[in-house]
């Protein structure tokens, strides 16, 4: 169709059929095909005559240069219907059009009229239809990875399948399966992954996000009654005596597996022994939960101290800047009276010359032409001309000087005010950071007081001998790796724990007064919810290529978009699966990454349209665009202190941006292929770690190693210790950031891998 304009002269109307129907008209199935044949050639996203796009109800409602094309519920007042029915000019489509569009039939006009009267509702029809058939393939390239906030798990998407690895035991612990996806994770290639603070894992595919969770440790059965400690196996006591290991059965507890023995003694840390020789292997951390808290506290302290140092260093510069602005404002204020006095003097001089000129003009007029007196007066008038011009110029310059001085005074006052406000904010932030340092120091004292060895009262090995469970009298049950004593996690159990046993039914904890509880040892990951159905485009437009949790995991940010057409960012309530905000015009191409500011007031997106953009996290209103890459922007991250943003591009560059001003402050080069991922490593250093299609892994542009193949993606653990990378051959590698080397490698698992065909 051509532009829709109101016209005073109506064309001959077309017949409109009578349609007896009460069911809703489906835009995508019934209206869009008519538009495709007769309208979209001129009114599409890339070619929108008169600014009108007719690909979706939203763009039709938005309208073009003449305003909305429809009035929902009122077809007789809608330009789209009136011009299509030739009730008003210009008629649509126009005769002799180059697109070979034809007039709508009576039945089509009736359907269009009913659709408008029903509210002109429906999902976008411009996006691709959902595939009718999905093909499985064994291609194992990894396009998405994520590390859980506690650093325990790494997840990767290989084809349609998400596999989860336990980084503590260094084993594949789960392959996420959805019966609705034929036993895979998604019907489509897994596009994105993100962990929430509570351990929930979100996976993105075609028009859907799935939420996965490993169940918490919870008792599945309880037998009430009092429980007494289980006796120590006499054979084990004899074995310990043979090993010359001091052991008093009356006060100590011992348990054995195939090749390990654990000995518990009041007031001491549990001891792990070699089961064949009795040789001490390790003293287990008595309060591993406290140690973990102290480790996190150390990271928080480093961040708080860094912020104190940054704000402290910034204050003198801000004070100096404020002083300069105040001096400039004062100088302008002092200069203003002088400028005004000069202008008054120049005006008086010009006035005197003008008065003199008038006197001479009058004298010339009275004198007889040709006389010596007339000539002398005329010469005086001529000589006075340049003086008048010069005086007028001097007066104008003096007035401009007043205006400039006044502007300088106003600008100086404004800049001084801005500088004062920034200085006050920086001082306030410094005080907040100092208060955090103090509070964290008090927290450290509290935790340090809890580090003492509690009373370990019971222990048990898993049937396969890989896990060790140690129970405390206070109720906690700690889980260790039996081979090396590495702490894994903790269970919250009732007080008075006196016994632990394991059999085929699970872990049984005996409590002096609370009875015996049974805990499941197997906790398979479960599909707990989904957003979108993988078919309809009204919730999620296309592949979900970017994911990020916010607000402690209660909100989820998704980035989608149809290639070369749109980039949509949305915020969802995770519990309700409800959309809270949407910006359907965030980008002009697919959004491939999103990162939140530390205070979560803003977020930044990366898109294949070559831009990174900053939005307000609540409303998704645009704050600014970051324009410097000459190719697709493939990843983005926000520094832990909130001061910097980093972007990675297909132009083989990394760029650092001032998060407050949006100015590009630094570019890093040296890659021979696109930079596919970039992250700030830790709060303590804010170093930048990146991966590239040239296989390199770099820290601040310095190579630290290479992957096996083209590196598509990477993720950094919350503590900055681990980097997970995924490559074209499906290799998941876990790098130690401290050692700058690969610590774990997980090649592609052959089964269950798939890719989607559309």
Q: Are 237 and 248 in contact (CB under 8 A)?
A: no
Contact 453, 443 (CB under 8 A): no
How far are the Cα atoms of 182, 222, 272, 516 from residue 225, in angstroms, in the given order? Answer: 46, 10, 32, 7
Instruction: Give all strands of the β-sheet with 567-573 in edge-to-edge order.
Output: 546-550, 555-560, 567-573, 578-587
**Rounded CA Rg of the chain:** 38
Sheet with 602-607, strands from edge to edge, namely: 591-596, 602-607, 612-616, 622-626
Q: Which two tokens stand for residue 233?
A: 């196996």
Dihedral angle of Cα 273, 276, 279, 283, to the nearest 10 degrees: -10
Q: DSSP assignment, residue 551?
A: G
Q: Are the C-beta atoms of 592 and 601 separated by less than 8 Å?
A: no
Cα–Cα distance measured from residue 157 to residue 753, given in angstroms and rounded to the nearest whole number: 9
CATH (residue range 290-448): 1.10.287.1490
CATH of domain 531-746: 2.130.10.10
How far is Cα 479 from Cα 523, in angstroms, rounded to an integer? 14
Pairing between strand 654-658 and 741-746?
unpaired
**Distance from C-alpha of 434 to C-alpha of 432, rounded to nearest angstrom:** 5
Q: Would the CATH topology of 136-214 be identical to that of 290-448?
A: no
CB 711 within 8 A of CB 695: yes
Residue 563 phi/psi, 5° resolution? Answer: -50, 130
Residues of the chain with pLDDT under 70: 1-11, 41, 45-47, 96-100, 123-130, 132, 137-139, 452-454, 749-758
Taking the model in full, what pTM does it have?
0.71
Which tokens belong to 562? 């149809």
Task: Give the pLDDT confidence score for residue 513 in this predicted structure.
Answer: 86
Tell me the two tokens of residue 354. Answer: 């003008």
Residue 124: per-residue pLDDT: 57
Distance, CA of 264 to CA of 456 (rounded, Å)? 6
Q: Helix, strand, coil proportions of the chain in percent (round to 5)?
A: 30, 30, 40
Could you tell me if 662 and 683 are in contact, meaning their C-beta atoms sit under 8 angstroms apart?
no
CATH class of 136-214: mainly beta
User: What pLDDT is recorded for position 753?
Assistant: 37
Beta bridge partners of 395: none
pLDDT of residue 572: 97
Can you spell out the DSSP letters for 261-282?
Answer: EEEE-TTS--EEEETTT--EEE
Q: Are the beta carbons of 374 and 357 closer than 8 angstroms?
A: no
The CATH fold assigned to 226-284+452-501 is: Methylamine Dehydrogenase; Chain H (2.130.10)
Give me the sheet containing 208-213, strands edge to edge.
192-195, 201-205, 208-213, 526-531
Tokens of 202: 């979100």
Q: Rounded CA gap, 584 and 127, in Å? A: 13
The per-residue pLDDT for 758 is 31
User: Which of 174, 157, 12, 7 shows the shortest CA–CA distance to 89?
Assistant: 7
* H or E element at residue 35: helix 32-38
Which helix or strand (DSSP H or E) is residue 415 part of? helix 372-449
Distance CA 546, CA 548 (A): 7
Using DSSP bridges, classify how beta strands 567-573 and 578-587 pair: parallel, antiparallel or unpaired. antiparallel
**Domain residues of the chain, as ranges?**
27-117, 136-214, 226-284+452-501, 290-448, 531-746
Query: CA–CA distance from 504 to each of 224, 231, 501 (Å)?
Result: 21, 21, 10
Write out the DSSP string of 31-63.
IHHHHHHHTTTTBSSS-BGGG---SSHHHHHH-
Distances 248 to 245, 329, 456 between C-alpha atoms, Å = 10, 84, 15
**Cα end-to-end distance, the chain, whole Å:** 30
């Amino acid at each position: 169709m051509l532009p829709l304009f109101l016209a005073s002269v109506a064309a001959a109307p077309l017949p409109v059929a009578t349609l007896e129907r009460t069911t809703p008209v489906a835009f995508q199935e019934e209206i869009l095909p008519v538009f495709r044949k007769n309208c979209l050639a001129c009114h599409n996203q890339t070619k929108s005559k008169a600014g009108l796009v007719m690909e979706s109800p939203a763009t039709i409602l938005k309208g073009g240069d003449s305003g909305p094309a429809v009035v929902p519920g009122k077809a007789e007042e809608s330009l789209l219907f009136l011009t299509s029915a030739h009730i008003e000019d210009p008629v649509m489509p126009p005769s002799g059009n180059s697109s070979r569009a034809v007039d709508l039939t009576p039945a089509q006009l009736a359907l269009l009229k009913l659709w408008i009267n029903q509210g002109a509702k429906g999902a976008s029809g411009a996006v691709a239809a959902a595939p009718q058939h999905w093909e499985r393939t064994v291609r194992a390239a990894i396009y998405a990875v994520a590390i859980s906030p506690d650093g325990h798990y790494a997840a990767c998407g290989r084809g349609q399948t998400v596999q989860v690895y336990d980084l503590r035991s260094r084993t594949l612990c789960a392959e996420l399966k959805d019966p609705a996806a034929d036993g895979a994770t998604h019907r489509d290639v897994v596009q994105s992954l993100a962990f929430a603070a509570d351990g929930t894992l979100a996976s993105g595919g075609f028009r859907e996000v799935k939420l996965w969770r490993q169940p918490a440790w919870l008792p599945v059965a309880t037998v009430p009654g009092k429980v007494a400690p289980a006796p120590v196996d006499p054979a084990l006591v004899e074995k310990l005596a043979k090993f010359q290991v001091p052991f008093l059965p009356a006060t100590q507890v011992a348990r054995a597996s195939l090749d390990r023995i654990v000995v518990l003694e009041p007031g001491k840390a549990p001891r792990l022994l070699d089961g064949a020789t009795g040789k001490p292997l390790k003293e287990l951390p008595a309060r591993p939960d406290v140690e973990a808290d102290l480790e996190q506290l150390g990271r928080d302290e480093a961040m708080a101290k860094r912020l104190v140092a940054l704000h402290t260093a910034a204050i003198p510069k801000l004070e100096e800047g404020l002083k300069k602005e105040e001096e400039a404002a004062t100088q302008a204020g002092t200069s203003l009276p002088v400028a005004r006095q000069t202008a008054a003097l120049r005006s008086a001089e010009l006035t005197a010359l003008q008065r003199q000129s008038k006197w001479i003009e009058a004298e010339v007029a009275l004198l007889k032409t040709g006389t010596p007196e007339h000539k002398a007066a005329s010469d005086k008038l001529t000589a006075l001309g340049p003086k008048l011009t010069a005086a007028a110029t001097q007066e104008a310059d003096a007035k401009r000087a007043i205006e400039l001085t006044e502007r300088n005074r106003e600008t100086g006052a404004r800049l001084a005010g801005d500088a004062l406000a920034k200085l006050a904010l920086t001082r306030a932030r410094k005080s907040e950071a100092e208060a955090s340092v103090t509070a964290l120091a008090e927290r450290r004292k509290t935790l340090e007081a809890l580090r003492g060895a509690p009373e370990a009262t019971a222990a048990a090995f898993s049937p396969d001998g890989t896990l060790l469970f140690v129970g405390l009298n206070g109720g906690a049950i700690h889980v260790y790796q039996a081979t090396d004593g590495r702490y894994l996690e903790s269970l919250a159990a009732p007080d008075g724990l006196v016994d632990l046993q394991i059999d085929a039914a699970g872990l049984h904890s005996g409590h002096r007064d609370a009875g015996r509880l049974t805990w499941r040892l197997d906790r398979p990951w479960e599909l707990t919810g989904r957003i979108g159905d993988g078919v309809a485009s009204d919730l999620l437009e296309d592949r979900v290529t970017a994911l990020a949790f916010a607000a402690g995991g209660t909100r989820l940010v998704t980035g989608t978009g149809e290639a070369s057409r749109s980039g949509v960012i949305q915020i969802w309530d995770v519990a309700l699966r409800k959309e809270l905000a949407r910006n359907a015009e965030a980008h002009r191409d697919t959004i491939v990454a999103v990162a939140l500011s530390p205070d979560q007031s803003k977020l930044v997106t990366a898109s294949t349209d070559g831009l990174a953009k900053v939005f307000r996290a609540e409303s998704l209103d645009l704050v600014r665009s970051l324009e410097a890459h000459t190719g697709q922007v493939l990843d983005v991250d926000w520094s832990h202190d909130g001061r910097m943003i980093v972007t990675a591009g297909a132009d083989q560059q990394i760029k650092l941006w001032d998060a407050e001003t949006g100015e590009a402050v630094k570019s890093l080069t040296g890659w021979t292929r696109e930079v596919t991922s970039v992250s700030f490593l830790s709060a303590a250093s804010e170093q930048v770690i990146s991966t590239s299609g040239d296989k390199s892994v770099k820290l601040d542009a310095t190579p630290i190693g290479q992957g096996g193949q083209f590196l598509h993606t990477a993720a950094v653990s919350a503590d900055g210790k681990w980097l997970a990378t995924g490559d074209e051959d499906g290799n998941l590698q876990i790098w130690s950031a401290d050692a700058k080397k690969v610590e774990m490698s997980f090649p592609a698992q052959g089964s269950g891998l798939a890719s989607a065909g559309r």
